Structure 1
Amino acid sequence: MQARVKYWWLVLTCVATHAYAARLLAVLPTNTRSHYVMYGRLVEALARKHHQLTVISHFPMKNPPPNVEEISLAGTIPEITNNLTKRHYHSLKPDFVRNLEEIMKECVHACETVSRLPSVKALLNSSVTFDMVIVEVFGSECFLPLGQRFKAPVVGLLSSVPLPWVNEQLGNPEATSYVPAYMMGYGQRMNLWERFSNTIAVIWSKILYKYMSQIPSQAIADRMFGPGLKLETLAQNYSLVLSNSHFSINEVRPLVPALVEVGGLHLDESQKLQKDLKALLDASNEGVIYWSFGSMSRIETIPSETLVNIFEALSRFSEIVLIKMNRGLLSRNITVPDNVYTMEWIPQYATLCHPNVKLFISHGGLLGTQETVACGVPMLVVPLYADQALNAHAMSDRGVARTIILRDSTVESWTETLSDLLRNPKYTENSLKLRDIFLDRPMSPLDMGVYWIEYVLRHKGAAHLRSPVLDLPLPQYLLLDVVILCIAITLMTLFILHTLFRYLCTRCIKWWPFEKKLVFETKIFRKNVSLFLCLLWKYKVKTN
C-alpha cells in the first residue's frame, strides 16, 4: 500500500511539474564566463523540467536540448578579463569607487551592444509570448522593460551578495552597522571608523549607480522599448531575485522573502578530471597546491618581479604546485620551478575535491570560494578586484584562509604564509567544519533556485513576496513621523503637568492662613526657587 501511494505521489509530481511547464525568456547580457557558470546551470535545470526557454547569452550551449532556443551573442564584445600588470596602485580614487565605475561602464556597454543586434530587435518585434522573463541583476537594468513588453513577471539572477542598489529595489534592510558593503573588505564586527566608511560606501554606491548606470540604461531602454515607466520603478517590481550568497560563508543579513540565497548553485558534481591531470594528482603523495585566478584574471600578467618572488617561495616546498596558466605567455626572464605544473584549463571543482589537494591559492572570487568551501580546502587569498577583499575577510574570519596583497608580495611573506597554511592543522579542521555547515541544507541550491522560479510561475508573479517597504515614503520608513509624534506627546505632557502643578501650588497657597502664607512665600522667594522647578530638577537628576 505504501509503495502504491509513493508511486501515485511520483506520478502526480511529474504531472504537476509538466503542467507548470512555461515559456521563459532569459537575458544574460554580461560577457563574464564566471557569471554564466551559475546562470548556465540554472538554464539547464529549467530545461530538464520541460520548460521552453529562449536564452540570450554570450556562451551558447554546445548541444542545446530541443526545448532551448538560443540567441547567441558570442563575438559581439570581447570577454571581460583583467590584466594584472595594469593595476592602478597610485590612483587617488578609492578602490571601491574605481571598481564600481568599471563594472557599470562594462555592463552599460554590454547593454548598448546587445540592444542593437538584429536578432534581439526581431525578438522584441515578434508576436511570441512568455510566461516569465529572467534577467541578470548586476550593473545595468536596461532589459527590465521586457517584463512589461511581454506582460510577464521578472526574476533576477545575481551572481554576488546583494548589492546596495538591489537592496533598495527590493526593500531589503542595509544594516550597515554589521553587514559590510559590496566592494568593502570589512568583516561583520566593524569599529567606529569602519562602520562610518561602510555607511558612506553604501550611500555613494547608490548615487554612483544612479548616474553612471541607471540614467544611461534608461536611454537605451527608451530607444529599445519606447518611452515608458522608469527603470527605477520597474526595478521595484521584481517578483524574485536569486542571490549567489549563503549565510555560512557570506554575511548574516536580514532578507525579504523576494530575495533568496542560492549560494553554490553552480557546483557540478558530474565534473570529471582528464586522465593526465588525474594521474598527476593521484601520484602527488606530498600533496598539491592548486593556484588559479579564475577566468577573468591572468596569472601570466602579474608583474615579473612579483611573479619571480612568488615562484621562489613556491620552490621551497615539497608539494606539487598546479597552476592554471599559459606558460608560453610568461616573460623570458622568469624561471618556472621544477615542482610547478601548468595547464591552460583545469576543471576546478573536481580538482579542489581531490583528496591530495591541500591548499588553494585564489583571487577570492565568490564562485571559487564556494567551490573551495564545498571541498573543505584551506585558502591563500590574493584579492584583486570587486568583492574579492570582502570574500577574503569572510574566509579569514572563519579561520580557513589567510590573505596576501599582491603589490606587497615578498619571498618571505609568501613562504611564511604558505608554511602556516600547510603545516598548521587548524586550517584544515576549520575548513572541514565550514564545509559541513555550507552543505547542510534542506535541498540543493540548484533545486532551491528552480523551486522558487516555479513558485513565481505557479502564483502568477507572487506579488505577495513584495515588501511593503517599497510603498512607504522615506520619512515613514525611517519612522521620522513617529519620532515627531513622540516628541510632540512628550512636550504636550510636560506642558500639561507644568500647568497642573502651577495651578495646584497656587490653590494651596491661597487656602493657607495669611501669616503662614507670608512666611512660606518669604522662604520660597529667599531661595529663589518654585515648587515646580524643584520637582523638575529632582526628576531630571533621576533620569540622568
Structure 2
Amino acid sequence: MFLCSNMFSVTLWIPIIILFGSLCDGGKILVVPLEGSHWVNMDIIIKALHDQGHNVDVIRSSSSWFIKENSSYYNSITIPNTKGMNEEFVLDVLNKMIDYERGKSFWLSAVWLFWDMVSVIYETHEMICQLITNIFESEEILKTLKENQYDLVLTDPGWGAGIFLAHKLKLPMVYNVRWTSTGEGHFEIAPSPLSYIPITGSRNTDRMNFFQRVQNSMYYLLMYFQNGYFNLAQYQALCDKYFYPPVRFNELLQGADIWLMRVDFVFEFPRPTMPNIIYIGGFQCKPAKALPHDLEVFMQSSGEHGAIIMSLGSFISVLPDEVTAEIVTAFAQLPQKVIWRYTGKRPSALGNNTLLVDWMPQNDLLGHPKTKVFIAHGGTNGVQEALYHGVPVVGIPLFFDQYDNLLRLQNRGGAKILSITTLDQSTLHAAIQNVISDPSYRLNMQKLSHLHRDTPVKPLDSALFWIEFVMRHKGAAHLRSESYKLPWYSYYSVDVAVTCFTVVLIFTLSIFLTVKYLCVKCCSRKRKNEQR
C-alpha cells in the first residue's frame, strides 16, 4: 500500500517537474546558420528550442536572403557591411551547370565548369571570412556577444563562422550537419574506408568494383586538394590572425561536442560512426496537415489518377525557358493533376491539368493520399520528406550532392533519376508513367518509410535532448575522440609502421651481415688449411 502510494505521488509529480523544469532551465543559445535549405531545417530546431523555453540569438549578414531580421522566436544579430548569397548568385551557377550538361558549350567546358564551381565555393567562403572579420574587428559586437553569456553555439559547419565564434567565446559547440567546409561530415570525424564509402560526386554506391574504387579514390584526392588549397586556407589565415596560441582550423572544425547528422541509415549507406554523432534524419518531417481549401479542391479534382508534386527546392524556382517548355509539354500529356512550385513567366504550352504556385506546403502535399509521385531536384530535405511519407521520386539533379541523395533512393528501388542532359518531354513523360505504373516504386518507398518511423525517439526530440545535454554538462568531452588532434602520420600509424619496418630491416641486415661474416671467416680458415 505504501509502495503504491509512493508510485502514485511520483507519477503525479513527473509532468509538473517536466513543465516547470523546462520553464526554469531555459538556456541562452547562439545560432550561426547557413542560407537556403540549410536555414529551413535550422529554423525548425530554433522554433523547437524556443518552445522549450530557451532564448535564441541568430547571427545573420546584413544582406541575408532567407534569415529574417525580425522574428517572434529568435533575436537576430545583424552584422553590417556583409555580403551573402542571393538569388542572382544561385541562378548564375544553375545556368552555367545546365548549359554544360545540355551540351551548349565545347568539350573544354568541363574544365571551365569545374573551375567555375571552385570559384563559386571560394567566393562563398570569402564572404563568410569577411563576416568573421567584421565581427572580430568590432569591439561593440564582441562585447555584446560576451555579455550575453551564452551556454552553447549551435551552427552548421558548412561555413566556418560558428566554429570561430565558439572558439573565441570559449563555448561548447553542437553541429546541425550534413556537410562541412571540406565535404560530407562523416569524413571529418569517423573512419571512412574508400573501398565501400562513396565520395560525394563520384556517383558510386557502397558496392564498387575495382575501377569504381579507383574513381572513388581520385574523387577523394580531388576533394581534399580543392578544399585544402582554396577553402580551408582562407579560414586558417583567420586563425593565424586572431587566435593565440596558434590553432589549426581543422582541429576547431573536428572539435564539436555533438554532431547532429541530418541522415539516418534507412537513407544513408551503412558506415563506421562515432559516439558523438547523433542521427536525426527526417527531423523536419511530420504528419500531413489539412491543405488550404483551394489546394484541397485541386487535389480532389484529380480523381482516380491522383496528383504529381514538383519542386526544385528553396533556391531554384525558375528554369531556362527551353527546359520549362519541355516539362510543361510532358505534364500536359498526363492524366494526373500537377502542382509545380514555379515563379517564372507562365509557359505558353501550360496544360489545364497543371497548377503553378509561388509556394506550396510541401510536407502536407507529400502526405496527401492523392499524391502519386514527387518530382524533385534531390535536396536532403525533399528526399527525406518523400521517404517519410512513402512517395516515390522522379529525380532531376542539378548540382552539389543532389545526384548522390537521389542515388540512395534509386539504389533502394524508390526513385528514378533523369539527367538534365537528356531531359525532354518524352523522357520525363516516360519516367513519370514508369514510376506510377510500376507498384514496386511505391512499395519500396513505403517500406523505407516504415523503417524510418520505427524508432523509440523522434529525431527532433533526440536533437533537443542532446543540445540540452551539452548545455547541462558544459560540453560532451567524454563522447569526443581525441583522434582529431593527432597528426596524419600518427592517425594512420605511419610512424609505427616505419619504426617496425626499420627494426625488422635492422634485424634482417644484422643476421645477413653476421652470416656473411661467419661465411667469410669459414672460407678464410678453409683456404689457410688448404695452403698448409
Instruction: Work out whether the TM-score is over 0.5.
Output: yes
2-structure distance, mates of 1:132, 1:358: 43
Once the two structures are superposed, the pairs formed by residues 508-519 of structure 1 within 5 Å of their partners are none
Q: 1:15 to 1:254 in 2, by over 3 A?
A: farther
1:397: which partner in 2?
Answer: 411
Q: 2:208 aligns with which of 190, 204, 229?
A: 190
**Is residue 244 from structure 1 mapped to residue 262 from structure 2 by the alignment?**
yes
**Is residue 316 from structure 1 mapped to residue 333 from structure 2 by the alignment?**
yes
**Is residue 70 from structure 1 mapped to residue 76 from structure 2 by the alignment?**
yes
1:23: which partner in 2?
Answer: 28
2-structure distance, mates of 1:294, 1:442: 30
Single out whichever of 126-135 and 336-345 deviates more from structure 2: 126-135
1-structure distance, mates of 2:414, 2:517: 71
Contact kept, 8 Å, 1:31 with 1:110, in 2: the verdict is no
2:399: which partner in 1?
Answer: 385
Contact kept, 8 Å, 2:135 with 2:142, in 1: the verdict is no
Once the two structures are superposed, the pairs formed by residues 141-220 of structure 1 within 5 Å of their partners are 141-160=160-179, 164=183, 166-167=185-186, 169-170=188-189, 172-219=190-237
Q: 1:18 to 1:352 in 2, by over 3 A?
A: same
Q: 2:427 aligns with which of 413, 437, 453?
A: 413
Q: 1:9 aligns with which of 11, 14, 23?
A: 14
1-structure distance, mates of 2:517, 2:79: 83
Contact kept, 8 Å, 1:165 with 1:205, in 2: the verdict is no
Q: 1:389 to 1:466 in 2, by over 3 A?
A: same
2:309: which partner in 1?
Answer: 290
Specify the SS of the correspondent of 1:371. Answer: helix
Shift of 1:355: 0.4
TM value normalised by structure 2: 0.83
1-structure distance, mates of 2:399, 2:270: 22
Q: 1:60 aligns with which of 60, 68, 76?
A: 68
Q: 2:461 aligns with which of 435, 447, 456?
A: 447
Percent of residue pairs bearing the same amino acid type: 25
Specify the SS of the correspondent of 1:125. Answer: helix
2-structure distance, mates of 1:265, 1:475: 38
Contact kept, 8 Å, 1:292 with 1:324, in 2: the verdict is yes
2-structure distance, mates of 1:12, 1:354: 38
Specify the SS of the correspondent of 1:392. Answer: helix
Q: 1:259 aligns with which of 277, 302, 324?
A: 277
Shift of 1:503: 13
Single out whichever of 93-102 and 210-219 deviates more from structure 2: 93-102
**Pairs aligned (count):** 499
2-structure distance, mates of 1:189, 1:386: 21
1-structure distance, mates of 2:46, 2:499: 51
* 1:43-83 C-alpha deviation (Å, 9 max, x unpaired): 11111222222112342376514xx3222579964535335
**Is residue 326 from structure 1 mapped to residue 343 from structure 2 by the alignment?**
yes
Q: 2:152 aligns with which of 120, 123, 132?
A: 132
Once the two structures are superposed, the pairs formed by residues 465-480 of structure 1 within 5 Å of their partners are 465-480=479-494
Single out whichever of 307-316 and 338-347 deviates more from structure 2: 307-316
The letter of the residue matching 2:259 is: V
* 1:215-250 C-alpha deviation (Å, 9 max, x unpaired): 223445677779963423322321122221111112
1-structure distance, mates of 2:241, 2:495: 41
Once the two structures are superposed, the pairs formed by residues 491-502 of structure 1 within 5 Å of their partners are none
2-structure distance, mates of 1:182, 1:100: 15
Q: 1:224 to 1:157 in 2, by over 3 A?
A: farther
1:524: which partner in 2?
Answer: none
Single out whichever of 427-436 and 334-343 deviates more from structure 2: 334-343
Shift of 1:488: 5.6
2:140: which partner in 1?
Answer: 122
Shift of 1:269: 4.1
2-structure distance, mates of 1:166, 1:277: 38
**Is residue 349 from structure 1 mapped to residue 363 from structure 2 by the alignment?**
yes
Structure having greater relative contact order (Cα 8 Å, sep ≥ 6): 1
2:295: which partner in 1?
Answer: 277
1-structure distance, mates of 2:443, 2:296: 25
The letter of the residue matching 1:31 is: E
Q: 1:82 aligns with which of 68, 91, 109?
A: 91
Specify the SS of the correspondent of 2:110. Answer: coil
Specify the SS of the correspondent of 1:54. Answer: strand
Shift of 1:282: 2.2
TM value normalised by structure 1: 0.81
The letter of the residue matching 1:339 is: N
Shift of 1:297: 1.5
2-structure distance, mates of 1:56, 1:488: 53
Which blocks of at least 5 consecutive residues in structure 1 are unaligned? 506-544
Contact kept, 8 Å, 1:250 with 1:394, in 2: the verdict is yes
2-structure distance, mates of 1:218, 1:488: 35
Q: 2:50 aligns with which of 28, 47, 50?
A: 47
Shift of 1:378: 0.6
Shift of 1:149: 2.7
The letter of the residue matching 1:38 is: N
2:529: which partner in 1?
Answer: none
1-structure distance, mates of 2:114, 2:457: 35
2-structure distance, mates of 1:412, 1:196: 35
* 1:480-531 C-alpha deviation (Å, 9 max, x unpaired): 34434554676678789989999999xxxxxxxxxxxxxxxxxxxxxxxxxx
Q: 1:174 to 1:120 in 2, by over 3 A?
A: farther
Q: CA RMSD in A?
A: 3.5
Shift of 1:455: 1.6
The letter of the residue matching 1:64 is: S
Shift of 1:207: 2.6
2-structure distance, mates of 1:106, 1:498: 60
Contact kept, 8 Å, 2:181 with 2:231, in 1: the verdict is no
Q: 1:222 to 1:468 in 2, by over 3 A?
A: closer
Q: 1:106 to 1:315 in 2, by over 3 A?
A: same
Specify the SS of the correspondent of 1:407. Answer: coil
**Is residue 435 from structure 1 mapped to residue 449 from structure 2 by the alignment?**
yes
The letter of the residue matching 1:5 is: V
Shift of 1:130: 1.4
Contact kept, 8 Å, 1:360 with 1:380, in 2: the verdict is yes
* 1:181-207 C-alpha deviation (Å, 9 max, x unpaired): 223322111222222222222232223
**Bigger Cα Rg:** 1
* 1:89-111 C-alpha deviation (Å, 9 max, x unpaired): 14232867754542342243144
Contact kept, 8 Å, 2:378 with 2:395, in 1: the verdict is yes
Specify the SS of the correspondent of 2:291. Answer: coil
Specify the SS of the correspondent of 1:7. Answer: helix
2-structure distance, mates of 1:99, 1:429: 38
The letter of the residue matching 1:135 is: T
Single out whichever of 1-10 and 401-410 deviates more from structure 2: 1-10
* 1:236-265 C-alpha deviation (Å, 9 max, x unpaired): 321122221111112222111222221112
2-structure distance, mates of 1:85, 1:162: 24
Q: 1:37 aligns with which of 33, 36, 40?
A: 40
The letter of the residue matching 1:380 is: V
* 1:343-372 C-alpha deviation (Å, 9 max, x unpaired): 111110101110000001111111000011
Contact kept, 8 Å, 2:132 with 2:164, in 1: the verdict is no
